[in-house]
Amino acid sequence: MSYIKIWVHAVWGTKNREPVLKPPVLEQVRAHIKDNAGKKGIMLDRINGHDDHMHALMLLKNDYSIAKQMQLLKGESSYWANQIELVKDGLEWADKYFAASVSDDKIDFVRAYIDNQQVHHQKMTFMEEYRHFILSLGYKEVDFG
């Protein structure tokens, strides 16, 4: 078996930025995604979110692409949530997501950032933060939804 160690910080939103991830829905979705990741052999170090999006810090599994790993987490979790009618009008994730590798020396920073989503988003909305981040990388404005 090949050995890889690639930390990935992934972010994905709800479809149309619907704020359906309020407590206790957020806690149930987090717990389910973490449990499902474990069953699939995905090492999910952190997962948290706020109202309309989720953040995860995970190791990329050696036989998955980022796209496959994201599909397993997003697709299965919305299917599960809709089976148990967790959200009145259903839980749908936006098609797009963000994923970036994280160097070992930045892991603690990303962990703290993910753990503190509720405090962080009292200062800045997800879309404000996302636009600022993308522009700081030198990209033009892109559609994340």
pLDDT tens by residue, 103-143: 999 999 999 989 988 776 667 776 677 666 666 666 766 55
Q: Where are the domains of the chain?
A: 7-136
Give the rounded distance of the alpha carbon of 134 from its chain centre.
Answer: 17
SS3 104: helix
pLDDT value at residue 3: 86
Q: Which CATH class is domain 7-136?
A: alpha beta
Q: Is the pLDDT reported for residue 44 higher than 80?
A: yes
21 vs 125 pLDDT, higher one: 21
Looking only at the bridges linking them, the beta strands covering 44-50 and 53-59 are: antiparallel
Global confidence as pTM = 0.85
Give, in order, the Cα–Cα distances in Å from 131 to each of 127, 140, 143. 6, 9, 10
Averaged pLDDT score across all residues of the chain: 89
pLDDT, one tens digit per residue, over 52-71 is 999 999 999 999 999 999 99
